[in-house]
Chains A and B, each alone.
Chain A
Amino acid sequence: MSENKSFWQRLKSWIDGEEILIDADKYISTRERKERVSYEKAVSMERLRSNSTLYRVLCVAITVIFIAVMLRVVIDLPMFGDPNGVTVNEVGQRYLEQGIEETGAINFVAGMILDYRAFDTFGESNVLFMAVIAVLMLLQRDKKNTSAAEDQEMAEDEVFDSQDSKLILKKGAKCLAPVVILYGIYVVLNGHLSPGGGFSGGSIIGAGLILYSAANGQKKMQTFFTIKTLTRISVACLLTYCGCKSYSFFTGANHVGWEIPKGTPGAILSSGFILPLNICVGLVVACTMYGFYALFTKGEV
């Protein structure tokens, strides 16, 4: 019956869950055969490893030869800090000469990674989101994959959380966590004016959230930060990033046609899209870092 349907109809019925597009059994059987092949390889590798002296000697020899060759190359490299070296070429010089005029950011690095090379940074943020999803797949706790011993450990941890046994940590976190998070927000918002930006500021905010969660327990953290918050913030930020950059690529990549107001270089509200993009990247990074911590401790965000 599925033969005379068009592809789109089949796709639609697949989305509705009525039909199977790919025969899973066939796919799994081919996959198992592949696994067997890779296992054969693992065995031969293991035979090599079992001859421990030979393996060690080979490893050391390869590494020493590698280091020797690379050190020989280092001797021929241009001198460290040489202003006439080949690495100081016209690409970097163009960024330095026209960066402020074209991007409006007085931190050249921020202008570079969020304007000239924004596509690269977009892929980067997606890598982070994908990493947290992969860790979620591997470490999420449910009834099937938890043993009784682990459950007991979790219960002990929760008792430890509720006791007053970590008074110093709690008091310290009360004083420090707001300052850390505030500093992170400052670093994100000043990304185009001073060292820092989305990646570093986001990590600092994530560290502040980790401190708060370590002191007050996951239960309290879950009152305002759950897996839903994490995915929603991350996806919203990635979509905003995508939208902003698609707009500027669509208008000619160099903002030909409609000039995004750059403002005065050095003011907080300047440099076009760099400030919102920094905020997006910072939020994604902060969510990712806290997500890693929560998944590694409790198996749930």
Chain B
Amino acid sequence: MSDFSIMIQMILVVFLIASAIGVSVTRNLFMAVIVFMGYSSVMAIVWLFLESPDLAITEAAVGAGIDTVLFFLTLKKVHALKGTREG
């Protein structure tokens, strides 16, 4: 593996840790879910670097797609999104 590829992987890993910390410190639930979606997408790319394309496809469909949809639906039900709270 070339140095360049290792460098890119390290940047991705640092991004993963940064977004995990971001989820923890943000006060806004909407922001937390969006950041978590970005985390999942970057995780899919990391799995391509680890030569596991099966995992990359599954993670992109499940982590960035369906998990996020479920979190958003919950937020809508508990009126945590702007515009859905009445009055």
Contact = CB atoms under 8 A, between A and B. Distances in A.
A and B found bound together: yes
Interface of A: 81, 107, 109-110, 187, 195-197, 199-200, 203-204, 206-207, 210, 289, 292-293, 296-297
Contacts of A195: 53-54, 56-57
Nearest to B48: A195
Nearest to B64: A207
Contacts of B58: 199-200, 203
Interface in B38-66: 53-54, 56-58, 61-62, 65-66
B73 A207 contact: no
A197 B55 CA distance: 10
B1 A196 contact: no
Contacts of B65: 203, 207
A293 B57 contact: no
B73 to A, nearest CB: 4
Contacts of B77: 296
A207 B61 CA distance: 8
Contact of B73 (A206, A289, A293): A293
B66 A200 contact: no
Given A195-B57, A203-B58, A204-B61, A289 B1 contact: no
Contact of A210 (B53, B69, B74): B69
B7 interface: no
A297 B66 CA distance: 13
B44 to A, nearest CB: 11
A296 B57 contact: no
A134 B69 CA distance: 19
A207 B64 CA distance: 11
B65 to A, nearest CB: 5
Contacts of B25: none
A200 B54 contact: yes
A293 B61 contact: no
B74 A203 contact: no
Nearest to B59: A200
